[in-house]
Copies of this chain bind each other. A is one copy, B any other.
Amino acid sequence: MFIDRRDLHDHNVHRPLQAGISGTRSEGADSICISGGYVDDEDHGDFIIYTGHGGQDTDGTHVRDQSLESPGNAGLLTSEVIGLPIRVIRKADKSNPFAPAAGYRYDGLYLVTSSWMETGRDGFQIARFRLDRIYEQQVLEPAAQVVPDPAYATTTVTRRIRDSVMAREIKDLYGFHCQVCGLAVPAFDGRTYAEGAHVRPLGRPHLGHDVKTNLLCLCPNHHTQLDTGGLFITDDAVAIDASTRSAIAVLRWRKDHRVSVDNFRYQREELWSFPDM
């Protein structure tokens, strides 16, 4: 618990005295403060739909579009891309059941798991970020009977993906070969590894479907690249490297499997604002 923004600053919990986001494009963001300042914020406790910085008048009204280039918003994007955890601080707010009764409270570490632009309630474009609380921490409500494995305190999350049944079927269909580059990552004793990649994410607010028309079989590198906005797929199923804007490959397809053009468009346009393809 902290008394005010100065108290947060002095303890290096949230350094800026006014801004809601602490961070920069190159370093990533390291903390956010949820103060109820944006009507579009949604606090669900374990996950948050957070509105980016900027575009507001002095009285808090949105008067222009937000940009992903402002330091705070660019910092949250960098944190999403590189997987940097974010400290979340909640300010007292009677309208928010997850906020403390008074002052400011540090509520643990979250990951930015998704980002996109949308039209806010005031009619201007706003940057939006989904943050998910990291599980291997004390729960928000004091209910911990289970003593956690101390190893978790320092372990990073396992990189391997737990696939849905549908993703398993897609990987089997392609024999664990990446649809972009054809690689099947070698593993122990002749086994191979691939991942089922959802083109439109399943979580809120995107609510993509766990169906084959939303799934690709990819190697971890191209899955990462797709998820972090470094790879786009045209309506004609050509994979484009976002940094060079040049074609990498035409996706390899097996009989009876195609991904819906709507899902490719969602990933390009709604998630990463790449409409001009």
Contacts and interface: CB of A to CB of B under 8 A. Distances in A.
A145 to B, nearest CB: 6
Interface string A123-147: 0000000001011100111010110
A188 B228 contact: yes
A142 to B, nearest CB: 10
A78 B154 contact: no
Contact of A185 (B145, B191, B230): B230
A111 B155 CA distance: 15
Interface in A190-242: 190-191, 193, 195-196, 198, 202-204, 207, 210, 219-221, 223-225, 227-231, 241-242
Nearest to A274: B188
Contacts of A152: 203
A276 to B, nearest CB: 15
Given A143-B143, A221-B220, A243-B190, A111 B160 contact: yes
Given A188-B228, A189-B77, A227-B160, A149 B46 contact: yes
Given A159-B161, A186-B230, A224-B160, A191 B136 contact: no
Interface in A144-187: 145-146, 148-149, 151-152, 154-164, 167-168, 171, 176, 183, 185-187
Copies of this chain, whole number: 2
A83 interface: yes
Nearest to A243: B186
A90 to B, nearest CB: 16
A85 interface: yes
A9 to B, nearest CB: 21
Given A162-B85, A185-B221, A148 B243 contact: no
A121 interface: no
Contacts of A155: 202-203
A68 interface: yes
Interface of A: 44-47, 68, 77-78, 80-85, 109, 111, 113, 132, 134-136, 139-141, 143, 145-146, 148-149, 151-152, 154-164, 167-168, 171, 176, 183, 185-191, 193, 195-196, 198, 202-204, 207, 210, 219-221, 223-225, 227-231, 241-243, 272
Given A44-B149, A82-B193, A219-B221, 5 more contacts: A47-B149, A68-B189, A134-B162, A156-B202, A159-B161
What are the 4 closest A-B residue pairs judged by CB atoms, nearest first? A188-B229, A220-B220, A187-B228, A186-B230
